[in-house]
Structure formats: structure tokens, C-alpha cells
Amino acid sequence: MSGLRFQIPPTLLAGIYKDTLIASDEAGVATEKNTPVPAKQTPVPVSSPAAALPDTPPEKWVLGGNARGVVVVVNDPDNVYLADDVLQLLTGILNACKLNMADIAVVNYARYPYPFARLQQFLQINSCILFDVSLETMQLPFSIPYNQVQQFNNCTFTYAPALQTMLGASEDAKLQKSRLWLSLKKMFNI
């Protein structure tokens, strides 16, 4: 594996080191220094109410191009968007639906807890897939069980458990994936 290199995008680095810089004091000793990061790159923590969110989200707040108005809302407080293995799973699910990352927008609710009405102000939304983010949390006026497809306000919704529960080859993971697949087939007329 020698010679294998990768570069971390600057926006990801900013998210990782958003609150802390290492600086040396006059004696040359490394000290931790809290430095404010411009609001444009500061993710909103899970505990922040949606009212405290900026009126306009930062430039890199979604992953994907949203060309087909498919918004995927996840809840992953440990990552900017999604962990690599979960992103790989999502990519496979998208491929099965004849979609790719250019067609969708992934919003991490743990970082940007905008209610659905606010998301509609920022994004084209024809279809919305909620992973581990309830309809009540998104301030939607209806409730559906996991993997049911529902129309509301010119948008098709489905709600599913966290993508992490679908990782691996366990019977439970396979069952979760098959239930999701049935709802996505209905949602996208596959």
C-alpha cells in the first residue's frame, strides 16, 4: 500500500477542528487555544434549537447535487455528513434506485436541524427520505410507520431506521434493507 495517498477536503478539516487550534506560547510550549470559526463553516450541534440556525445555511451544508430533488435526511452527530461505510451503503441504495449523488442532497439533521418547511426554502424537494429523523421532529403534520410512503405538500416521504442498522449481513440488517427497498420501489416507481 505504499504510495497510496488521499487528501482531506478543507471543509471537512474545518469541521473536524472547528473549535480548537494548537498554538505555542512565548516559551514555545504547545497550548490549546479556542478560536472562533466563521459562522459559515460552523456546524450546528444537535442540542441547538432550529430557531438558532442561521437564516441562510452555509455553502457546504449538504452533500450531493440535488438535481432530482431527492433529499435524504440523516441523523449522524459524529460526522459532517455520514461515516464512509454508511455513505457506501447509501450509494448502493441509490444505484438500485437509478440515482446517484448528483441527484440527491444529504442533510445531516444533527448538524443542521432545520424543520421541513425551512428545508423547502433552501432546497428543491420532490422526495424526502428520513433516516432516524422522525416526521414529528421535522415538524410535519402527519405520522407514518417506518417504510410507509406518504404524499404531502407536493412531496413524497418515507421514514426509515438509521442507515447504520442496515450495515452488515445480519438477518436484521437484511430485513431492514428489504423493507426500505420495498418503500423506495413504490416511492420511485421502480
Beta-bridge mates of residue 149:
158
The three three-digit cell numbers of residue 1, written as one number:
500500500
Q: Note whether residue 2 is domain-resident.
A: no
Residue type, 172: D
- Mark whether 37 and 104 lie in a shared domain: no
- Taking the C-alpha atoms of residue 109 and residue 92, their distance in angstroms, rounded to an integer, is 22
Q: Is there a contact between 133 and 75 (Cβ–Cβ < 8 Å)?
A: yes
Band of residue 52 on the pLDDT scale cut at 50, 70, 90: low
pLDDT, greater one: 19 or 73: 73
- Mark whether 133 and 102 lie in a shared domain: yes
- Mark whether 62 and 89 lie in a shared domain: yes
The three three-digit cell numbers of residue 66, written as one number:
440535488
Residues 101-130, mean pLDDT to the nearest whole number: 95
- Mark whether 30 and 77 lie in a shared domain: no
* pLDDT tens track for 67-103: 999 999 999 999 999 999 999 999 999 999 999 999 9
Band of residue 58 on the pLDDT scale cut at 50, 70, 90: confident
- Mark whether 20 and 99 lie in a shared domain: no
- Mark whether 21 and 98 lie in a shared domain: no
- Residue 175 belongs to what domain range? 55-187
pLDDT at position 22 is 39
pLDDT at position 59 is 79
Q: Is there a contact between 94 and 103 (Cβ–Cβ < 8 Å)?
A: yes
- Mark whether 30 and 59 lie in a shared domain: no
Q: Is the pLDDT of residue 2 over 60?
A: no
Number of domains in the chain: 2
- Mark whether 66 and 155 lie in a shared domain: yes
- Taking the C-alpha atoms of residue 43 and residue 74, their distance in angstroms, rounded to an integer, is 15
pLDDT at position 60 is 86
Q: Note whether residue 4 is domain-resident.
A: no
Q: Is the pLDDT of residue 19 over 60?
A: no
Q: Note whether residue 46 is domain-resident.
A: no
* pLDDT tens track for 159-173: 999 999 999 999 999
Name the nearest CA neighbour of 12 among 64, 60, 53, 58: 60
pLDDT at position 174 is 95
Q: Note whether residue 49 is domain-resident.
A: no
- Mark whether 75 and 169 lie in a shared domain: yes
- Mark whether 68 and 116 lie in a shared domain: yes
